[in-house]
Every structure is written in structure tokens, then in C-alpha cells.
Amino acid sequence: MGNRIVVPFGPPQHPVLPEPIHLDLVLEDERVVEAVPTIGYVHRGLEKLVEKRDFQDYVFIAERICGICSFTHSVTYCNAIEHIMGIEVPPRAQFIRTIWMEYSRMHSHLLWLGLAADAMGFENLFMNAWRLREEILDDMEATTGGRVIQGSCKVGGIRRDIGDEKLGEMVDHLKKIRPLLEESNRIFTHDQTVRHRMRGGLGTLTKEEAWDLGAVGPTARGSGCDMDVRSSGYSAYGGTRVQTGHPPPHGGLSGSLPRPLGRGARSSRPRRTCGGKDARRPCRRKGEGQSGWRVLCLLRTAPPWRVHALHKGQRQEEHRPPPVRTPTLTNIPPLVKMLAGIDLADVPVVVLTIDPCIGCAER
């Protein structure tokens, strides 16, 4: 047995991570015995802004919790307010929100797949994933005006409509992208380089561990837990064919990589039904306000994450900071578990498999 030493990983500027997180790795020779995460480098304290901003303005602050899954954050916040105030959102707005959420999901997945490829040193695959991501962002920009921060959701509906002609174009575009996504997925599942890098079940989490440690989203699905919050049918997911459940085992890869896999192409499916769904123009309806304290816990899926927002009160004076619970925060304990027992050289790859979004986690 060698001596135990502590190696700081990402102090916090680190080449492999675009965002700052610090891990203290306790090593025994090359093997990680324990990992202690330190966060706080991106903590802005934006929940506290609830006290200063009007709830309609706060939609845009909520959107800036994270610039990757931004649209879902604004939808979640709006859902919370709508729930409290009893506002009904018109169906067309629901469907358009869902379309944008799915677009966010796709661009986020591609971003993640790219970064995961970058972590294992597969530069070409990284570039390819990000090239595909630009195709998704083009439609996003055309319909909302923003590439990563859309600013098109508001309490009671949406701020922009998508014309029927544009919806048709989007469907055609998706049909073109789909084979490209499938090709990219094939490389992730079958390429020799990737398989070799993820050999020996690197960073595997059993189903029981994932459940017990509170893993959510893809991290849990990769371990075999069947949970996908989209299947509850919120927004317009109820009216679409969403393929949920955990991804099927891919090419004998038992490691951590199946988590992000198989989802790029799956994501592109529900949109086709969304796009063709008819509904009337979005409008804002006045709901009946309810007084008194209301607490609600909403489960929403941001591209790869789910957001737990807890809200209180309706009047500005009663507006309290919503503790935003994003999946990265919840997935940190499973990550700590996964890191124990692997080699130092594998740490970057395993860290990237939970799709760490520190901006989300620290708010």
C-alpha cells in the first residue's frame, strides 16, 4: 500500500473543465480513494434577487441560472408562478414551449457529448458534435432571436409565436439532421477509441446506488432507473410521443458512457408531432389569484437536468428565494461515489459523464 496523498484537481482553472469546480482527490499510488468536491466559484446568489425584482422580470433572471438549459429554467419559473396564480396557459403556447425545450435539450446533449469526447481526447468527435449543435442553434436563433439565452418565455405564455411555415421548415431541417445524429451516436457506441477509453465499466453505478444516492436524469437512467420527468406529460409532453426510459445497453459498454448515449437521436423524435400540432394563437389569460402561502415542488427537465423549484407566496412582499435544485447539485454525491476506486487518469472522463453544469448547481 502506498502513501496517501491529496491531489487538487481543477484548482479551479483546469483544461478539461470549461467551468470551475475543485476536487480534492485522495490518492493511493494512482488510485483514487476518495474525492471531496468544493464548489462556490460560480455562486452568484441570484435567488436573492427575487426580493428586488418583479416576478415578471425575474423570469429573465431565472433564465440566467444557466446559459445552456436556460429556456427550461424560465419555463420552470413561469410554471411555478402560473401554478400559484392559477393561470391557464393556452395550448399553442404550451406546444411552442415544448418545442423550444426539446431544442434546448438537443443542443445541450450535443454540447455535452462534445465535451465528453474532448475529455477523452477525441478532438475530432468534439468538433463534429459541436458542428451538429450549430444546426440546432440556427433554428433556435431563427425562432427566438437568441442562441443560448432565449428570453422568449413569460408568465402565462410565450413572447413570440412560430409561424406555421417556419414550423414546416423546422421539421424538414430535423429530418436532415437526424441521420447525422445517428451517425454521431454510432461513433460513440462502436468506435474503438471510445470503447477502449471506457473499458472495464469505468465509473459504473448500480441501480440501487443510483437510487439511494439521489441520482437524477441521465445519470440515473444510465444506471437503469426508469425515470424521465417528461413522461409526466407537463407542458405539452402529454400530447407528444416522448420516448422515455433508460437507454438500451450499447455495444457491451457497461461503463459510464451509456448515460449520454442514444439520446441525441431520441430527442429529435417528439418534435415532429409537436411541430404539426395545431393550436390557436398564444394569448394570456387572467387567472384567479390565490392568497396565502403556497409551496410547490415542481419537477422539470432542463435539457439534461431537472429543476426543483420551490416557491412561496404570490405578492412581491411574500416572494421568497426559491431554492433551485438542479441535477448537477443532486448528481455530485453519485459522482463522488463513482470517482472512488478509479485511476487518476480516468477522473476527467468520469467527471464529464454526469454532465457537470456548475453554473446551474451553484446559482
Site for other proteins in 260-279 (CB under 8 A): none
Q: CB 71 → other proteins: shortest distance, Å?
A: 11
Residue 94 or 185: the one with the smaller Cβ distance to other proteins is 94
Q: With CA atoms as reference, report the closest residue to 194 among 260, 117, 141.
A: 117
Tell me whether strands 153-154 and 157-158 are parallel, antiparallel or unpaired. antiparallel
Q: With CA atoms as reference, report the closest residue to 272 among 98, 119, 45.
A: 98
Collapsed DSSP state (helix, strand, coil) of residue 206: coil
User: Which of residues 189, 325, 327, 347 is near other proteins by CB under 8 A?
Assistant: 325
Q: CB 280 → other proteins: shortest distance, Å?
A: 20
* Binding residues for other proteins restricted to 289-318, rule: CB under 8 A: 295-299, 308, 310, 312, 316-317
Choose the binding region for other proteins from 54-62, 163-171, 176-184, 243-251 (rule: CB under 8 A): 54-62
Q: CB 252 → other proteins: shortest distance, Å?
A: 28
User: Which of residues 28, 29, 30, 54 is near other proteins by CB under 8 A?
Assistant: 54
**Residues 271, 95: contact at Cβ < 8 Å?**
no
User: Which of residues 28, 29, 88, 134 is near other proteins by CB under 8 A?
Assistant: 134
Residue carrying the nine cell digits 402529454: 238
**Residues 217, 306: contact at Cβ < 8 Å?**
yes
Choose the binding region for other proteins from 144-152, 254-262, 281-289, 345-353 (rule: CB under 8 A): 144-152
Residue 251 or 313: the one with the smaller Cβ distance to other proteins is 313
Does residue 240 touch other proteins according to CB under 8 A?
no
Does residue 147 touch other proteins according to CB under 8 A?
yes
| Alpha helix stretches (DSSP H) within the chain | 55-63, 70-85, 91-119, 123-144, 164-190, 192-197, 207-212, 217-222, 263-267, 270-276, 327-339, 347-353, 358-362
Residue 187 or 336: the one with the smaller Cβ distance to other proteins is 336
Distance CA 270, CA 243 (A): 8
Q: Read off the C-alpha cell for 216.
A: 437524477
Does residue 241 touch other proteins according to CB under 8 A?
no
* Binding residues for other proteins restricted to 150-209, rule: CB under 8 A: none
Does residue 52 touch other proteins according to CB under 8 A?
yes
**Residues 204, 254: contact at Cβ < 8 Å?**
yes
Choose the binding region for other proteins from 97-105, 179-187, 194-202, 334-342 (rule: CB under 8 A): 334-342
User: Which of residues 157, 217, 258, 359 is near other proteins by CB under 8 A?
Assistant: 359
**Residues 330, 360: contact at Cβ < 8 Å?**
no
Residue 69 or 253: the one with the smaller Cβ distance to other proteins is 69
| Close Cβ partners of 49 (under 8 Å, ≥ 6 residues apart) | 58, 61
* Binding residues for other proteins restricted to 62-81, rule: CB under 8 A: 64-68, 70
Site string for other proteins, 215-234 (x = CB under 8 A): ----------------xxxx
* Binding residues for other proteins restricted to 7-26, rule: CB under 8 A: 11-16, 18-20
Q: CB 294 → other proteins: shortest distance, Å?
A: 10
| Close Cβ partners of 333 (under 8 Å, ≥ 6 residues apart) | 213, 214
Does residue 338 touch other proteins according to CB under 8 A?
no
Q: With CA atoms as reference, report the closest residue to 254 among 286, 287, 207, 309.
A: 207
Choose the binding region for other proteins from 36-44, 188-196, 261-269, 279-287 (rule: CB under 8 A): 36-44
Q: Which residues pair with 32 in a beta bridge?
A: 27
Collapsed DSSP state (helix, strand, coil) of residue 162: coil
Site string for other proteins, 112-131 (x = CB under 8 A): --x-----------xxx-xx
Q: With CA atoms as reference, report the closest residue to 60 among 153, 160, 143.
A: 153
Collapsed DSSP state (helix, strand, coil) of residue 299: strand
Residue carrying the nine cell digits 462534445: 114
Residue 207 or 272: the one with the smaller Cβ distance to other proteins is 207
